[in-house]
Amino acid sequence: MTTPPPDDPRAEVLDLCDRLFDGDFTAADRERLESLVIHNADARRAYLEHVQIHAVLKEARLKDVPLSEVVDMASAITGLPKSMTAAPALNKRRWTTAALAAAASIAILLAGWGIGHWQGNASGERRVFVAKLVDSKGVRWDSGTLPTEVGANLSQGRLRLAAGLATVEFQKGARVTLEGPADLEIINADKCYLHRGALTAHVPPPAVGFMVETANAKLVDHGTDFGISAAPDGAATVEVFDGEVELLHQTSGQRLKLLTKQGASVSQEELSGLSTVDDAPETELPRARRAAQPLSGNTITITSADGRGKAGYAFSPDTKEHFSDTLLLVKHTPIKTACRRKAWLAFDLAAVQGRDITEAALTLTFEPTGWGFASHLPDAVFTVYGVTDNSLDYWEESSLNWDNAPANDVVGGNVLPDKAVKLGSFTMPQGVLDGAFTVKTPELAEFLQGDGNRLATLVIVRETTETKSGSVVHGFAGNRHPSLRPPTLRMVVR
């Protein structure tokens, strides 16, 4: 057998797979195949496709499946014309136990490395591809039963998303964006089951009738954009952004028709209609927590909890729910006056009295709040402003509100330009809700150096606005968070 050129990983994988299933697989072959599938996406896809095709051929030999069906199944797996998959290899391969064990071990290796989480169909049932994974952003996957590479064809099975956004397009055009942590079971081309987490969906006319089930309810779409979240205990919330859906309670048989900007909550006992989406609070979603990365510095480090430091946030009038004692919440929405939030920090600079600040960095440690849809917000830009009027530094955490917050623009989403100056900004990618983010600019160092009363007030604003109502609320650790570090300044002084 001719050895493929080194720049052709797919061909080399097929050659190694042939040896595997012919019983000529050596230890060196195994190491090479493992290396290829771990480090090369094309090789990985070729391996998975080839193993699936062999599974189809074995099933055909054992069950006497007509050749035409074998060709159909193989063509569906690879996307190649039927003429290229009608291989005369039905009788060529020797399906030895050792070969199958070797294939399974490499599949397990792939899952362990987190590069597919694909599990073979040991029962020999025919796989029918009903959807495709078309996009992902900031994802971390838990083990499931389906491939997790963008572009992968999906059959019936489970997608378990630990964090980030993943978009699945079903055969008729329904597009579902899953928001981690979430557990979605694909049932068929027209139906999925949300075990937990949140999703948003766009259903074009050809896909009308698309269905999403939860533990207590069944949602039937009639051509719309909607969002649904499900808690592990079966409680769920549905919001219709545009169009019409029908909601059926699994136990009571109760039905609700929801139109644009209407919503409903689902309990084990009943369905309850909500006020319009524009008036309703942000949907509460289950979120994962990731431990903050340790912060370090070789100069002076202070937090907003040190000395006279303080931290708080304010929200616009008519914000009815979703507040936090441990997180400082930020959100900007032009769609409604309620639910806007900004954060204020004060740092006691007594430790650098009489010294020159040559560099300065502000670090905020974010944690998911569990409120709102991340898919309704693009990459989010956060800006740090410094309050220039020293008389405004003496605010109190306990009495901070939208009207008295230093330099706050109560009408817009920003600050008053005559009372604050921009010091820097950072961007959080869409779907990323946790982690430490830092602003380090000459403007920040200059502002801190020039502060007259050694008590510096900063304002944190999310500049990016939501594309649809009900977008995610961001939050970062304040002074009373039980485990995450408070807002931290690191300064190089001389």
How many helices (H) and strands (E) would you count in the chain?
7, 24
- Report the CATH number that the domain containing residue 432 is assigned in CATH: 2.60.120
Which tokens hold the place of 378?
Answer: 């693009």
Domain match, 469 and 333 both: yes
Which pLDDT score, from 0 to 100, does residue 468 have?
A: 81
The 8-class DSSP code of residue 122 comes to T
Q: Which of 227, 259, 274 is the last residue of a domain?
A: 274
Which tokens hold the place of 422?
Answer: 């921009």
Q: What phi and psi, each to the nearest 5 degrees, are found at residue 329?
A: -95, 140
Domain match, 88 and 165 both: no
CB within 8 A of 62, min separation 6: which ones?
A: 124
Which pLDDT score, from 0 to 100, does residue 48 have?
A: 76
Of 4, 6, 30, 8, residue with least CA distance to 19: 30
Q: Which H helix or E strand runs over 255?
A: strand 255-259
Which tokens hold the place of 425?
Answer: 């900004």
**4 is a domain residue:** no
Q: Which of 236, 256, 274 is the last residue of a domain?
A: 274
**Total domains present in the chain:** 3
Q: Which of 274, 309, 334 is the last residue of a domain?
A: 274
> What SS3 state is found at 200?
strand
Domain match, 146 and 43 both: no
**196 is a domain residue:** yes
Domain match, 207 and 343 both: no
Of 330, 494, 321, 340, residue with least CA distance to 412: 340
Which pLDDT score, from 0 to 100, does residue 295 have?
A: 35
Domain match, 159 and 257 both: yes
**371 is a domain residue:** yes
Strand positions, DSSP E, 122-235 = 131-141, 153-154, 157-170, 175-188, 191-202, 211-213, 217-221, 225-230
Domain match, 330 and 264 both: no
How far apart are alpha carbons 262 and 258 in whole angstroms? 6
CB within 8 A of 173, min separation 6: which ones?
A: 203, 204, 206, 207
Beta bridge pairs of residue 457: 346
CB within 8 A of 447, min separation 6: which ones?
A: 386, 421, 423, 456
Q: Which H helix or E strand runs over 104?
A: helix 97-113
Residue 120 · residue 94 · CB < 8 Å: no
Residue 339 · residue 390 · CB < 8 Å: no
CB within 8 A of 20, min separation 6: which ones?
A: 29, 33, 99, 102, 103
Which tokens hold the place of 192?
Answer: 């999925």
Domain match, 309 and 258 both: no
How many other C-beta atoms are found inside a 10 Å radius of the C-beta of residue 295?
A: 15
What range does the domain containing 109 cover?
A: 9-113
Cα angle: 301, vertex 305, 309; to 5 degrees: 90
pLDDT tens over the chain, length 494 residues: 445 445 678 888 888 888 777 767 787 888 788 888 877 877 887 787 777 666 555 544 444 445 455 445 445 444 444 444 444 444 444 444 444 445 555 554 444 343 333 334 444 455 789 999 999 988 889 888 999 999 999 999 999 998 889 999 999 999 999 998 899 999 999 999 999 999 999 999 999 999 999 999 999 999 889 999 998 888 999 999 889 999 999 989 999 999 988 889 999 999 988 654 444 445 554 444 333 333 344 579 999 999 999 999 999 988 888 899 999 999 998 766 778 999 999 999 998 888 899 999 999 999 999 888 988 899 999 999 999 999 999 999 999 999 999 999 998 778 999 999 999 999 999 888 888 999 999 999 999 999 999 999 999 999 998 888 888 999 999 999 998 999 999 999 98
Domain match, 260 and 198 both: yes
Which pLDDT score, from 0 to 100, does residue 298 have?
A: 55
**315 is a domain residue:** yes
Residue 211 · residue 246 · CB < 8 Å: no
Report whether the peptide linkage leading into residue 181 is cis, meaning its omega lies within 30 degrees of zero.
Answer: yes
**124 is a domain residue:** no
**122 is a domain residue:** no
How far apart are alpha carbons 440 and 460 in whole angstroms? 14
Domain match, 100 and 147 both: no
Q: What phi and psi, each to the nearest 5 degrees, are found at residue 404?
A: -105, 0
Q: How far is CA 391 from CA 176, 371, 407, 452, in A?
A: 51, 35, 11, 10
Domain match, 266 and 369 both: no
Q: How far is CA 85 from CA 68, 81, 153, 265, in A?
A: 11, 7, 17, 49
**61 is a domain residue:** yes
Q: Which H helix or E strand runs over 272?
A: strand 271-274
Q: Which amino acid is at 355?
A: R
Percent helix, strand, coil in the chain, to 5, is 20, 35, 45
- Report the CATH number that the domain containing residue 249 is assigned in CATH: 2.60.120.1440
**167 is a domain residue:** yes
> What SS3 state is found at 249?
strand
Q: How far is CA 270 from CA 44, 206, 281, 465, 486, in A?
A: 47, 31, 20, 34, 42
Residue 242 · residue 300 · CB < 8 Å: no
Please give the distance of CA 140 from its chain centroid, rounded to a whole number: 8
Domain match, 435 and 304 both: yes
Domain match, 249 and 180 both: yes
Q: Which amino acid is at 73?
A: M
Strand duo 300-303 + 244-249: pairing: unpaired
Strand duo 211-213 + 191-202: pairing: parallel
Residue 187 · residue 203 · CB < 8 Å: no
